[in-house]
Chain A
Amino acid sequence: MTEPPITYELILKHNLTAEEYHRIKQILGREPTYTELGIFSVMWSEHCSYKNTKPLLKTFPTRSERILVGAGEENAGIIDIGDGLAIAFKIESHNHPSAVEPFQGAATGVGGIIRDVFTMGARPVCAMDSLRFGELEEPEVRRLFSGVVAGIAHYGNCFGIPTLAGEVCFDKSYEGNPLVNVFCLGVLRHDQIARGRACGIGNPVFYVGPATGRDGLAGAAFASQDLTEESADQQRGAVQVGDPFMEKLVCEACLELLATGAVAGIQDMGAAGLTCSTCETAARAGTGIEIELSQVPQRAPHMTPYEIMLSESQERMLIIVLKGREAEVKRIFDKWDLPWSEIGCVTDTGRMVVKHHGQVVADIPANQIANESPVYQRQAEEPTYLTAVRQFSLASLPDTQFPTGHLKALLSRPSIASKNWVYRQYDHMVRDGTVVCPGSDAAVLRIKADALPAPPGNHAPEFPEKFLALTVDGNATYVYLDPYEGGKTVVAEAARNLACAGAVPLGISDNLNFGNPHNPQIFWQLKESVRGLAEACRVFHAPVTGGNVSLYNQSPYGAIDPTPTVAMVGLIDRPEHITTQWFKDEGDVIILLGDLLDANDPLLGLGGSAYLQHVHNLKTGVPPRCDLPKEKATHDALLALIRAGLVKSAHDCSEGGLAVALAESCISRQIARGTPRLVGAQVELPTVRTARRDALLFGETQGRIVISVAPANTAKVLEQAQAAGVTATRLGTVGGEDLEIRVGEGKLAWGLSELRDAWWNSIVRKMR
Chain B
Amino acid sequence: MNFAVLQFPASNCDQDAVHVLRNVLGHSARLLWHKETSLGDADAVIVPGGFSYGDYLRTGAIARFSPVMQAVCAFAEQGGLVLGICNGFQILCEAGLLPGALVRNRSLQFRCEHVHLKTVTTASPFTSQAPPRQLLRIPIAHGEGCYFADPETIAALKAGNQILWQYVTAQGEPTPAANPNGSLENIAGVCNARRNVAGLMPHPERASEETLGSADGRLIFQSMLHALQHRAGAMVA
A-side interface residues toward B, CB under 8 Å? Answer: 150, 153, 157-160, 243-246, 248-249, 336-337, 423-432, 434-435, 437, 446, 448, 450, 455-457, 575, 670-675
CA gap between A686 and B142 in the complex, in Å? 48
Q: Which of A430, A435, A437, A448 contacts B12 (CB 8 A)?
A: A430
CB <8 Å contact, B170 and A424? no
A427/B180 in contact, CB under 8 A: no
Q: Are B212 and A435 in contact (CB under 8 A)?
A: yes
Residue among B30, B116, B206 making CB contact with A429, cutoff 8 Å: B206
Q: Collect the chain B residues with CB atoms within 8 Å of residue A423's CB.
A: 112
Binds A, one of B51-59, B189-197, B224-232: B51-59
B160 contacts A by Cβ under 8 Å:
no
Say yes or no: A428-B112 contact (C-beta < 8 A), given A243-B54, A337-B9, A674-B170: yes
B78 at the A interface (CB under 8 A): no
B170 neighbours in A (Cβ, 8 Å) = 671-672, 674-675
Within 8 A of A (CB), among B59-117: 109-116
Closest chain A residue, CB of each to CB of B109 = A425
Residues of B in contact (CB 8 Å), total: 44
Of listed B20, B31, B112, B213, residue having the most chain A CB within 10 A: B112
Known: A245-B56, A336-B9, A674-B169. A425 touches B111 (CB 8 A): yes
Would you call A432 and B16 a contact (CB within 8 A)?
Answer: yes
Least CB distance, B19 to chain A, in whole angstroms: 6
Residues in B neighbouring A428, C-beta threshold 8 A: 112
- Is there contact, CB below 8 Å, between A673 and B178? yes
Q: In the complex, which of the residues A153, A336, A425, A434 contacts B212, with contact meaning CB atoms closer than 8 Å?
A: A434
Minimum CB–CB distance from B116 to chain A (whole Å) comes to 5
B177/A674 in contact, CB under 8 A:
yes
For this complex, 24 residue pairs linking A to B, each with C-beta atoms less than 8 Å apart, are A157-B51, A157-B110, A158-B10, A245-B9, A248-B51, A249-B9, A336-B9, A427-B110, A429-B112, A429-B139, A429-B206, A430-B16, A430-B49, A432-B206, A432-B212, A435-B211, A446-B211, A455-B31, A457-B30, A670-B113, A672-B116, A672-B170, A673-B178, A675-B169
Q: How far is the CA of A575 from the CA of B209 in the complex (A)?
A: 13
* B20 & A432 in contact (Cβ 8 Å cutoff): yes
Known pairs A245-B53, A427-B110; A675 contacts B116 (CB<8 A) = yes
Q: Which residues of B contact A (CB under 8 A)?
A: 9-10, 12-13, 15-16, 18-20, 23, 30-31, 49-51, 53-56, 109-116, 137, 139, 141, 143, 167, 169-170, 177-178, 180, 203, 205-206, 209, 211-213
Q: Chain B nearest CB: distance from A337 CB in Å? A: 7
CB-based nearest B residue for A428: B112
**Contact B19 A157, beta carbon cutoff 8 Å:** no
Select which of A249, A429, A448 is within 8 A of B19 by beta carbon: A448
Give Cα A430–Cα B143 distance, bound, in whole angstroms.
Answer: 14
CB nearest neighbor in B for A246? B54
Question: B139 and A158: CB pair below 8 A?
Answer: no
What residue in chain A is nearest B142 (Cβ atoms)?
A: A427
CB distance from B228 to the nearest CB of A (A): 22
Distance from A253 Cβ to chain B, minimum over Cβ atoms (Å): 10
Instruction: Decide if A425 touches B110 in the complex (CB within 8 Å).
Output: yes
Chain A residues, CB < 8 A from B143: 157
**Contact B112 A427, beta carbon cutoff 8 Å:** yes
> Which residue of the partner chain A has the closest CB to B209?
A432
Contact across chains for B113 and A672 when beta carbons are under 8 A apart = yes
Q: How far is the CB of A259 from chain B (nearest CB, A)?
A: 16
Residues in B with CB closer than 8 Å to A153 are 109-110
Given A157-B110, A157-B141, A424-B111, A431 and B16 contact (CB-CB distance below 8 Å): yes
Closest 6 CB pairs of A and B: A245-B54, A160-B12, A672-B114, A432-B16, A427-B141, A158-B51
* Cα A672 to Cα B213 with chains together (Å): 11
Q: By the criterion CB–CB under 8 Å, are A424 and B112 in contact?
A: yes
Complex alpha-carbon distance, A627 and B148, angstroms: 59
CA A150 – CA B116 in complex, angstroms? Answer: 26
Instruction: Name the CB-closest residue of B to A338.
Output: B9
CA distance A150 to B211 in the complex (A): 29
Complex contact A158–B55 (CB within 8 A): yes
Q: For the complex, give the distance between the alpha carbons of A673 and B51 in Å.
A: 23
Residues of A near B53 (CB, < 8 A) are 245
Q: Which residues of A contact B114 (CB under 8 A)?
A: 670-673
Cα A427 to Cα B51 in complex, Å, equals: 12
**B194: min CB distance to chain A, Å:** 31
CA distance A243 to B9 in the complex (A): 13
Q: Which of A244, A428, A430, A437 has the most CB of B within 10 A?
A: A430
B217 to chain A, nearest CB (A): 11
Q: Which residues of B contact A675 (CB under 8 A)?
A: 116, 169-170
Q: How far is the CA of A320 from the CA of B30 in the complex (A)?
A: 32
Q: Is the CB of A672 within 8 A of B10?
A: no
CB distance from A20 to the nearest CB of B (A): 42
Instruction: Other than A423-B112, A432-B19, A446-B211, give 5 A-B pairs with Cβ distance below 8 A.
Output: A158-B51, A245-B55, A426-B112, A450-B18, A673-B178
Q: A336-B9, A435-B212 are in contact. Are A673 and B115 (CB under 8 A)?
A: yes
In the complex, which residues of chain A have a beta carbon less than 8 angstroms from the beta carbon of B206?
A: 429-430, 432
CB pair A249 B211 closer than 8 Å: no
B20, B54, B137: the one contacting A671 at CB < 8 Å is B137
CA distance A430 to B206 in the complex (A): 8
CA A243 to CA B137, docked complex, whole Å? 33
Tell me, in angstroms, the Cα distance from A336 to B9 when the chains sit together.
8
Query: In the complex, A671→B169 CA distance in Å?
Result: 11
Set of chain A residues within 8 Å of B18, measured between Cβ atoms: 450, 456
- Give Cα A674–Cα B173 distance, bound, in whole angstroms: 12
**Which of A245, A424, A425, A455 is in CB contact (< 8 Å) with B10?**
A245
B13 and A673 contact, CB distance less than 8 A: no
Which residues on the B side are within 8 Å of A672 (C-beta)? 113-116, 137, 170
A450 touches B109 (CB 8 A): no
Query: Roughly how many angstroms separate A672 CA and B169 CA in the complex, as a whole number?
Result: 9
The smallest C-beta distance from B34 to any residue of chain A, in angstroms, reads: 11
Bound Cα distance A426, B111 (Å): 7
Are A245's CB and B51's CB within 8 A?
yes
A455 to B23, CA, bound (A): 15
> Shortest beta-carbon distance, A231 to chain B, in Å?
31
CB nearest neighbor in B for A244: B54
Chain B residues whose CB sits within 8 angstroms of the CB of A249 once the complex forms: 9-10
What A residues does B213 contact at CB under 8 A? 435, 437
